[in-house]
């Protein structure tokens, strides 16, 4: 299928690894000119070919989103696609947290700053150049946990639920002006959040009295009742993002797409 994306300009946050790296690679393969924003680069990002510009940035800085968008407009002449992928634990934070009382006020502030307020600022910066184009697609990477309230990571879940609400509101306001806004809600994905040393798999392994590989391959899928029996791969999320970014999805806006291995059971 031709996604009709060649020559378009995209900004992707959290682009150096995991889901963001997979989205960056996928859009480059479709001929998109990509501004990849992340705190640091990675060998995997640097190995990609195509019209790619890496912008080192820290989205905890309120000025960063506007600077990223300005780079896209300056270097590539405009903006068509925004993928707000950066999220999860704020810099220096490790999840999961067990229970509501485990998070302080500062923990809540940092979580919302990274997972919601940075998106608000990036969208605010992106809207003007998209309006100038007469169209655009914004894809916000949310989480299946936004739909599944639980005491584990309650601050993260609440921030992502806010992101879903924001997405609906943005779609309602800007779809008549040609800007579509959707969310993709992954479940557990085989990324560094799970696999890195000291990451979620190690933390759960310590609680469960097992090892990291067992958590990733057996304990977590069983604990989360994943219908497929496995964590998703980043590319599986990237494929959905690419379709939503495409004019092929011209009538899709204000929607949420679960790519969650069957985690969500609700209708």
Contact indicator for 52, 36 with CB cutoff of 8 Å: yes
Per the domain annotation, does 60 fall within a domain?
A: yes
Q: What is the CATH number of the domain that holds 149?
A: 3.40.50.720
Tell me if 266 is assigned to some domain: no
**Which pairs count as long-range contacts for 220-223, CB under 8 Å and 24+ apart, including other chains?**
220/188, 220/194, 221/188, 221/261
Asked if 154 and 137 sit in the same domain, the reply is yes
In angstroms, what CA-CA distances link 214 with 136, 211, 224, 232? 42, 5, 14, 16
Task: Name the least confident of 3-17, 89-103, 177-191, 248-262.
Answer: 89-103
Q: Are residues 69 and 147 in the same domain?
A: yes
pLDDT of residue 20: 98
Domain range for 218 is 190-231
User: How confident is the model at residue 95, as a pLDDT?
Assistant: 85
> Cβ-count burial of 217 within 10 angstroms (0-12 exposed, 13-18 middle, 19+ buried)?
middle
Number of domains in the chain: 2
List the catalytic residue out of 76, 114, 156, 174: 156
Residue 3 lies in a domain: no
Percentage of residues in the chain with pLDDT exceeding 90?
A: 93
Q: Is residue 4 part of a domain?
A: no
pLDDT averaged over every residue in the chain: 96
**Mean pLDDT on 157-168:** 98
Residues 246, 167 within the same domain: yes
Do 130 and 80 sit in the same domain of this protein? yes
Token pair for residue 132? 């100038």
Residue 54 pLDDT exceeds 90: yes
- Residue 185 falls in the annotated catalytic set: no
User: DSSP letter at 267?
Assistant: -
Q: What is the DSSP string of 83-102?
A: EE---SSPTT-----BSGGG
**At residue 115, what are phi and psi to the nearest 5 degrees?**
-95, -15
Secondary structure of residue 204 in the 3-state scheme: helix
Range 39-61 burial, b when 16+ CB lie within 10 A, else e: eeeeeebeebeeebebbebebbe
pTM given for the model = 0.96
Residues 134 and 217 in one domain: no
Which tokens is 84 given? 């707000």
In the predicted structure, residue 135 carries a pLDDT above the cut 90: yes
pLDDT value at 94 more than 90: no
Flag whether 265 is in a domain: no
Q: Is residue 177 located within the same domain as residue 104?
A: yes
- The pLDDT tens digits for 60-83 are 999 999 999 999 999 999 999 999
Instruction: Please check the confidence at residue 267 and state whether its pLDDT lies above 90.
Output: no
Instruction: For residues 174 and 204, state if they share a domain.
Output: no
Please state, in angstroms and as integers, the Cα–Cα distance from residue 100 to each residue in 151, 155, 156, following that order.
6, 8, 11
pLDDT tens-digit map of 180-229: 999 999 999 999 989 989 888 998 999 899 999 999 999 999 999 999 99
For 267, the token pair is 């209708």
């Amino acid at each position: 299928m031709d996604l009709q994306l060649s020559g378009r300009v995209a900004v992707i946050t959290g682009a150096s690894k995991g889901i963001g790296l997979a989205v960056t690679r996928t859009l480059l393969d479709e001929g998109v000119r990509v501004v990849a924003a992340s705190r640091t680069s990675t060998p995997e990002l640097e190995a990609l070919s195509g019209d790619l510009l890496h912008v080192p940035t820290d989205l905890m800085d309120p000025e960063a989103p506007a600077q990223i968008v300005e780079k896209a407009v300056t270097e590539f002449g405009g903006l068509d696609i925004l993928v707000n992928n950066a999220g999860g634990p704020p810099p220096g934070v490790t999840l999961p947290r067990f229970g509501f009382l485990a998070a302080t006020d500062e923990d809540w502030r940092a979580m919302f700053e990274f997972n919601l307020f940075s998106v608000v600022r990036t969208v605010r910066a992106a809207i003007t150049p998209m309006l100038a184009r007469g169209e655009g697609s914004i894809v916000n990477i949310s989480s299946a946990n936004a739909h599944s309230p639980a005491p584990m990571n309650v601050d993260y879940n609440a921030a992502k639920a806010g992101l879903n609400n924001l997405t609906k509101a943005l779609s309602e306001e800007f779809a008549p002006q040609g800007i579509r806004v959707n969310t993709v809600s992954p479940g557990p994905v085989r990324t560094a959040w799970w696999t890195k040393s000291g990451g979620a798999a190690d933390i759960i392994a310590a609680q469960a009295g097992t090892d990291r590989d067992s958590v990733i391959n057996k304990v977590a899928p069983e604990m989360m009742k994943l219908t497929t029996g496995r964590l998703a791969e980043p590319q599986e999320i990237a494929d959905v993002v690419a379709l939503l970014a495409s004019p092929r999805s011209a009538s899709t806006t204000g929607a949420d797409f679960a790519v969650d291995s069957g985690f969500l059971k609700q209708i």
